[in-house]
Amino acid sequence: MFGKKPAKAAIPLEKSDIKAFLGPGSQFEGNMTFTEIVRLDGLFRGEIHSQDTLIVGQSGELQAEIKVGTLILSGKLKGNVTADIRVELRAPAEVEGNIATPVLTVEEGVVFNGSLRMRGAAPELPGKGGADGARKGEK
């Protein structure tokens, strides 16, 4: 009862499982598509598309529109996320944007300012500035 935490999803994080890595201090701007697991610890601006897993480390900063299978975020994100499988927000993650996913886990210490949509498979989020699931003026 006490002292036990629920087991985290079995997402492989071995170095050999990660197929691409953008390290701390590096910057990239553009469109990224990938298969298998990618880890970002640098600065990325643009769009990311994949059916696989994107891992953003604590030093990672994204200004991006993201559509992936799974997102594991420990860094900073400004933009919208659509994940077909799940989103994991791990401390000290900071998110400013909207998330659409069927499964969301949030650790204590995460900052999330945006809207969340969870209905089975994640629907596409509308573009910036449009009226989405959260109507203006509602709390």
What is the pLDDT, as a whole number, of residue 119? 74
What is the pLDDT, as a whole number, of residue 13? 52
Q: Per the domain annotation, does 41 fall within a domain?
A: yes
Q: Per the domain annotation, does 123 fall within a domain?
A: no
**What one-character-per-residue DSSP string does 63-81 give?**
EEEEEEEEEEE-SEEES-E
**pTM over cut 0.85:** no
pLDDT tens for the chain, 139 residues long, are 444 444 444 454 554 566 666 668 888 899 999 998 999 999 999 999 999 999 999 999 999 999 999 999 999 999 999 999 999 999 999 999 999 999 999 999 999 999 999 976 545 555 544 444 444 444 4
Q: Per the domain annotation, does 139 fall within a domain?
A: no
What is the β-pairing status of strands 53-56 and 94-96? unpaired
What is the pLDDT, as a whole number, of residue 25? 82
What is the pLDDT, as a whole number, of residue 101? 97
Q: Per the domain annotation, does 126 fall within a domain?
A: no
Domain range enclosing 56: 15-116
Domain count, the chain: 1
Q: Quick check: helix, strand or coil at residue 92?
A: coil
How far CA 63 is from CA of 6, 29, 95, 102, 139, in Å, comes to 31, 9, 10, 23, 26
The rounded distance, in Å, linking the Cα atoms of 31 and 37 is: 16
Q: Per the domain annotation, does 6 fall within a domain?
A: no
Give me 61's structure tokens: 């900063």
